[in-house]
Structures are given as C-alpha cells and as structure tokens.
Chains A and B, each alone.
Chain A
C-alpha cells in the first residue's frame, strides 16, 4: 500500500482545501517529512489519515469519549460549516499487474446527524458497493489493529518497552500482524458453528418425530410382509377349494342329475299311472250308472224272465185260441177229407185235443204283468248287456289293479330308493365348496385391500420421511460436523501453538537484529525474548543472563520498542506505509543518528515523519537530505491570528 495524496478541507486547523502529495520518490526516497511546531497540526494529519481509513472506528488522539458525530463536528474548522477528507492510496491486489487506486472521500457538515458521507472511488470510478462494505474491505487491506503499529506516536511507543505487560490493543495488533489471530478467529467461528449445530441437533422434537416415523415405517413394512404372506397362504387354499368345488359340481352334474332325472321320470310314470287309474275308476263309475247293479239280482231276474215268458205266451195263446180252434177245425176237416184211416184220424184228434188241453192247462197266474217289450229288454239285458258289462268291468278292474300295482311299485321305489338324501348331500357338498371358495375369495380380497391400504400408508410415511429426510441428512451432517469440529479444534490448538512459536522465533530474531542494529551499545544485549502469551520483551546478555529492563535508559527503551515495531513490520511481510509522530523524543544524539541513518530510510517503502524542529533538527535533516532519503517536505505553519494552519513545501531549514 502506498499513500498517494491526502486532501483536507476545513479539517481542524486546516482551513480551505489543503492537498498533500504523499508519493515516495524514486529509488530510496522513502521519507515524506512534515515539519511543524507543537499544536501546528501534525497529529491532526495523522488523525485525518486514520479517520479517512477507519471512519467511526478510527483511534483518533483528540476524540476521547466523544461520540462520533460530536467528534466530527469538533473536527470542522471553526470558520467553516462543512469538512471533508480525501485519501488516495494504491494497493496491488492479489498479484495483479497494475496496482488499484482507491480514493476515500469523507464529507460531513454541522447539521450532520451521526455519520459522515463516505464515497469510494476505485480507479477513478465511483464504487457504491465498496462504500457500503468499506469497513470490511479496509480490514483486508490494512487491519485496524495493525494500523496502530504502523501509524504510531514515537513517544507512546517508547512506553511499550517500559511496560511489563503490553496493552490489550497492542497484543491484539501483534497477534493479528503475526497472523496468530486467524486460528483464533477460526476457533471462535468453529465455536459459533458448534453451538449453532448443537442447537440444530437440540431440536429433539424433530428427532423424536423422525425416529417415530422410521419406527412406524418399519412396523408398516412388517405388516405389509405379513399380509403378503397371508395372501400367499390363501392362494393354495383357494386353489384347493376351487378344485373341490369343481369336483363337487361335476359329481352333482353326473350323479345328482341322474337322480333328479330318474326321480322326474318316476314321478311322471307315477302320475301317468295315477291318471290311468283315475280314468279306469271314472269308467267304472260310469258303468255303475248302467245295468251293472242288476248283476246282484240275476237269479231274481231269471225267475222273473221265466214268469214273464209264461205270461206272454199265455197272452199269445189267449189271443190265438179262436184262431187255433178254427185252424184245428180246418185241419180236422182237411184230414177227414184225406181219407185216412180211423186210427190215424183218432191219433190226430187226440193230439189236437191234447194240445188244446195243454194250452188251457198251462194257464197260470199272470201277476208279473210285463209286456213283450219289457221281456225283450229283460232277456236282452240278462243274456247280452249284463254279461258284457260284467266283462268290461272285470277288464277295467284288472287294468285298474295293474295300474294300482304300478303305482305301488313306483311309490315303493321312490320311497325306498335314497336318492333324495343323496341328492341333498351332493347339493350340500357343492354349497359347502362354494361357501368355502367364496369365503377364501373374500379373505383374499380383503387381504388385497389391506395390502393396498398398507402400501398407501407406507407411501405416505415414505413421503413424510422424505420430508424429514432432509432434516435427517442435515442432522447427520451436523453430527459429522460436530465431530470434525472437535478434531479441528484440537488440531488448531496444536497449529496455533506451533505457529506462534515459529512466528515468535522469527520475530525474536528480527527484533534482536533490529535492536542490535539501532543500539550502539552492542555488548549489552545479546538476545531479545518475547513472551508467548503477553508478548512482553525480555533481554539477555551474552552469558545468557537476563538483563533487567530498569537497566535500560529511556532512549534505549524507545529503541527497543521501535525495534519491536520494525521487527513486527518485517515479520508480517506486509508492504505498509509507516507514519511516525514525534519520532525522536527523548533520544540522545547517537541514538538519533542511528535512527535517522538506519531506521527511517529503511522502515518501509513509504515513511511519513511528523516532527518538530527539535527532533529532526538542522543536522538530522541535513543527514537525511545527504542520504537522499527524503522525497517531499512540508512545513505546517500555524497562524495564530487567523487560527489556521498553512502548508508550505520545504522544512524549517
């Protein structure tokens, strides 16, 4: 880093716009020399640089306990309303070919609320983002802690060596300068990270929920398996039941069908036989209305027939008696005429007489009183109708008996044969098999449904787990991180220790070298030791015996402090400008010469010296000029009448 230009406007005693060119010269011309009497504005310059760089964080000499805004107001020149500081510096960033130029521009006025207005230009262009983050950016370029060791007051530095324990600000600066705070910061960051992760892990509710989900998923998975097993177990049973049903149905079709067919056939035959029997009975009943009852009284009717015949013959004879008599007469006449023998005639006469007698004798009772027609009917009935009817009836009866036998046979068959039970049994078997199949199928269906439900539940749980999965991963990561952090912390401790030792050894060597370089009593001190914790300095002589500090003079102490700073600057490896206020207070001439000759030109690539006329006096400035170490000279002249400082090129002499 190289300061290029500092512009002050109405800042402190500087009224109006005052510009300082701070660029070092070519080759070894590293020193920019400011001369000024006490109260002339030297320290103000230093404050301006600090203020420009760090704003409200700047450790300014006159600030004290003032608030930043009050401090700013106080910094405004009494004859002005607003003030501004501009600081330009160049910095080569990350080994770039050309250095980057930063211009810090702070401005404020009396009506300021609490802050200044900051503007940053990078290579001549406004960088708004940079202005917002400037506090962080400057920490990269020139950390505030370190700045104390580069922009320092020579007199105050002298006290450093005098003190047994260094102030906190200084030890912090040393630490950061040596890069020792990096592991600390890392450790602190790790602690923060640890607590954050711990907190994340401490969300025990989520964790419980997660493990609950995992357990649930496991249980559901188990249940799913058991259902699957159940389904697998049902299948063979179902197959078996279906086979059984098929067989039962087959048997039912073959045997049951036969039985049913037979039964129907038998029943049909039975019905037919019954119908036939009924037909026969109807025929018989029909016949009952006919002549059949007369069969009961056949003998009576036969007797009556005889009587009727007799009666009718008698009637006929009655009717024919005269005719017969006449005919007999005629016959006798005729026979007489035939000239027959008397004997024969007598025979004929006796025959006829006999006939007549027979006829007259035959007359019996005529009580029946039947006529010829009735007789005819009677005879006809007795001889033809009745026997015929009897025959027909007998036939019918016979037929009926046959039918009856048939009916009985069929009924006996139907009664004795056990087909109905067999049939029932077959039907029952089929039904049983069907029921079993249906039950098993229902079982299977239900199991399938359960399985489906379970799978859905598992999917849901999986989703839930997925949602929580990120959490789980985070948790695992966190656990891993925590474990790693512990290890890293241990490593860091070791690293810190080793780094510190290494850096301190380096620093010790450099400080010793610088101190011996600047000190003219080269036999007094052989080695400078720096305490690892407090960074306080101890001195040892050639015999290795400690040299008590009170044996050192005030000047020697200041040199020791400067050596420390110088050593630190070299040990840090940073290319930073050095600004020294009151550089040579309390030093005797030989020490002054040593500093002037050996330290100032080589302290850095840019050295700002703010001196009174007694510190860097005529002789010293002459020596510096002779050594061609000075790049520029400014004289700060305070005008008491106008209460302002004027800047002029050149020095007192």
Chain B
C-alpha cells in the first residue's frame, strides 16, 4: 500500500516529549513510541487541529521503520479516519493528517500523568 509519507520527521518539541517518554517507559525506540502516539491520536474522536508542524529535529525514519509489521494497517487506519472525518483521501491530505495525528498523539502521551512506567503504557491499550 502507498504510505502517506516516505520519511517520518519529528519536530523538536515532539522530540523533547519523546525523550521524556523514553525515560519514563524505558522503551528506547523512537518508532515504537511514535506508533503508539499515532494510534493514541487516532483514538480521539475529535480531529486534530490543523497547525503547522516544523520538522526541525534530527529524528527521522523511513515509513517502514516507523510502521514495522503493522505499517499497512496504520495506512488503512489513517485512510479510514480521514474518510470518517470527511476529508479528501489524496496524498497531500493523508500526509498532513498523519503528521498532525502523530504530533498530537506524542503530545497526549507525554501529557498523560498516569504514564509512569512501561506497564502504564501497555495499560492504555487494554
């Protein structure tokens, strides 16, 4: 399936938040954290606010690295979400929505006070 972006780029603010999450959860892979963040945002019923997100950090990865074994499922989820949100499903929109969701999710995870350990992280998925 066609990925919305070839390379996933993270803003500096998001990077800082990820660093915090890394410390708390002891999960030291950017991509795993980003996957969770993306899903977290998708789980929110409201659509993300369209804000400009700079790619000003040195953290970046290919889509395959980001998505891993569930890369295709994540594309489906993004498309479904955009469809549900009555958005166009063109590549441009998908890419923008991906970035918005990813960064909103990182923000949500970093701001959740309950997440203090690895197990707390898992708990949000159960």
- Check A370 for interface membership: any CB of B closer than 8 A: yes
Chain B residues with Cβ below 8 Å from A285 are 25-27, 118
Chain B, range 64-95, C-beta contacts under 8 Å to A: 68-70, 72-73, 76-77, 79-81, 83-84, 89
Question: Residues 86-114 of chain A: 1 if any B CB is under 8 Å from the residue's CB, otherwise 0?
Answer: 00000000000000000000000000000
- Check B32 for interface membership: any CB of A closer than 8 A: yes
Q: Is the CB of A293 within 8 A of B80?
A: no
Q: Is the CB of B84 within 8 A of A300?
A: yes
Question: Residues 345-388 of chain A: 1 if any B CB is under 8 Å from the residue's CB, otherwise 0?
Answer: 00000000000000000000001111100100110010000000
- Check A394 for interface membership: any CB of B closer than 8 A: yes
- Check A288 for interface membership: any CB of B closer than 8 A: yes
Q: Is the CB of A368 within 8 A of B76?
A: yes
- Check A66 for interface membership: any CB of B closer than 8 A: no
**Other-chain residue from B38, B39, B83, B125 in contact with A393 (beta carbon distance below 8 A):** B125
Nearest residue (CB) in B for A304 is: B80
Q: Is the CB of B123 within 8 A of A397?
A: yes
State the 6 A-B residue pairs at the shortest beta-carbon distance, nearest first: A304-B80, A293-B39, A296-B39, A295-B125, A296-B43, A281-B118
Q: Is the CB of B69 within 8 A of A291?
A: yes
Task: Known contacts A300-B42, A301-B76; decide if A281 and B126 are in contact (CB<8 Å).
Answer: no
Within the complex, what minimum Cβ distance (angstroms) separates A381 from chain B? 6
- Check A231 for interface membership: any CB of B closer than 8 A: no
Q: Is the CB of A367 within 8 A of B118?
A: no
Q: Is the CB of A394 within 8 A of B118?
A: no
**Other-chain residue from B26, B73, B118 in contact with A301 (beta carbon distance below 8 A):** B73
Nearest residue (CB) in B for A371 is: B1
Q: Is the CB of A289 within 8 A of B29?
A: yes
16 residue pairs A–B, Cβ–Cβ below 8 Å: A284-B119, A287-B122, A289-B29, A289-B32, A293-B35, A293-B36, A293-B70, A294-B77, A296-B124, A368-B76, A368-B80, A369-B2, A369-B79, A374-B73, A394-B126, A396-B122
**Other-chain residue from A301, A377, A393 in contact with B122 (beta carbon distance below 8 A):** A393
Question: Residues 110-126 of chain B: 1 if any A CB is under 8 Å from the residue's CB, otherwise 0?
Answer: 00000001110111111
Chain A residues with Cβ below 8 Å from B39 are 293-294, 296-297
- Check B40 for interface membership: any CB of A closer than 8 A: yes
Chain B, range 13-38, C-beta contacts under 8 Å to A: 25-27, 29, 32, 35-36, 38
Within the complex, what minimum Cβ distance (angstroms) separates B67 from chain A? 11
Chain B contacts to A: CB under 8 angstroms: 1-2, 25-27, 29, 32, 35-36, 38-40, 42-43, 68-70, 72-73, 76-77, 79-81, 83-84, 89, 117-119, 121-126
Chain A, range 386-442, C-beta contacts under 8 Å to B: 390, 393-394, 396-397, 400
Distance of A292 Cα from B84 Cα, bound (Å): 22
A interface residue count range (under 10 / 10 to 19 / 20 to 34 / 35 or more): 35 or more
- Check A308 for interface membership: any CB of B closer than 8 A: yes
Question: Residue among A297, A307, A367 with the most chain B CB within 10 A?
Answer: A297
Q: Is the CB of A400 within 8 A of B76?
A: no
Distance of A400 Cα from B118 Cα, bound (Å): 11
- Check A650 for interface membership: any CB of B closer than 8 A: no
Distance of A289 Cα from B2 Cα, bound (Å): 22
Chain B residues with Cβ below 8 Å from A287 are 122
Question: Residue among B26, B35, B69, B122 with the most chain A CB within 10 A?
Answer: B122
**Other-chain residue from B25, B79, B125 in contact with A304 (beta carbon distance below 8 A):** B79
Distance of A376 Cα from B43 Cα, bound (Å): 23
Chain B residues with Cβ below 8 Å from A295 are 125-126
Q: Is the CB of B76 within 8 A of A308?
A: yes
Nearest residue (CB) in A for B79 is: A368
Q: Is the CB of B76 within 8 A of A288?
A: no
Q: Is the CB of B125 within 8 A of A296?
A: yes
- Check A290 for interface membership: any CB of B closer than 8 A: yes
Within the complex, what minimum Cβ distance (angstroms) separates A394 from chain B? 6
Assuming A288-B121, A393-B126, A396-B122, what are 10 further A-B pairs, CB within 8 angstroms?
A: A288-B118, A293-B36, A294-B73, A296-B40, A296-B42, A296-B43, A303-B80, A369-B1, A370-B76, A377-B73
Distance of A287 Cα from B126 Cα, bound (Å): 12
Nearest residue (CB) in B for A389 is: B125
Task: Known contacts A284-B122, A397-B123; decide if A377 and B79 are in contact (CB<8 Å).
Answer: no
Distance of A370 Cα from B76 Cα, bound (Å): 8
Within the complex, what minimum Cβ distance (angstroms) separates B26 from chain A? 6
Q: Is the CB of B84 within 8 A of A303?
A: yes
Nearest residue (CB) in B for A390 is: B126
Distance of A285 Cα from B124 Cα, bound (Å): 13
Question: Residue among A280, A301, A381 with the most chain B CB within 10 A?
Answer: A301
Chain B residues with Cβ below 8 Å from A289 are 29, 32, 68
Question: Residues 242-276 of chain A: 1 if any B CB is under 8 Å from the residue's CB, otherwise 0?
Answer: 00000000000000000000000000000000000
Nearest residue (CB) in A for B36 is: A293
Q: Is the CB of A301 within 8 A of B77?
A: yes
Chain B residues with Cβ below 8 Å from A394 are 126
Q: Is the CB of A290 within 8 A of B69?
A: yes
Chain A residues with Cβ below 8 Å from B77 are 294, 297, 300-301, 304
Task: Known contacts A293-B36, A296-B124, A368-B80; decide if A281 and B89 are in contact (CB<8 Å).
Answer: no
Task: Known contacts A294-B73, A370-B1; decide if A288 and B79 are in contact (CB<8 Å).
Answer: no
Chain A residues with Cβ below 8 Å from B43 are 296-297, 300
Chain A residues with Cβ below 8 Å from B26 are 281, 285
Chain B residues with Cβ below 8 Å from A396 are 122
Distance of A368 Cα from B36 Cα, bound (Å): 22
Chain A residues with Cβ below 8 Å from B69 are 290-291
Chain A residues with Cβ below 8 Å from B35 are 293
Distance of A473 Cα from B79 Cα, bound (Å): 135
Chain A residues with Cβ below 8 Å from B38 are 293
Q: Is the CB of B126 within 8 A of A400?
A: no
Nearest residue (CB) in A for B118 is: A281
Within the complex, what minimum Cβ distance (angstroms) separates A126 from chain B? 137
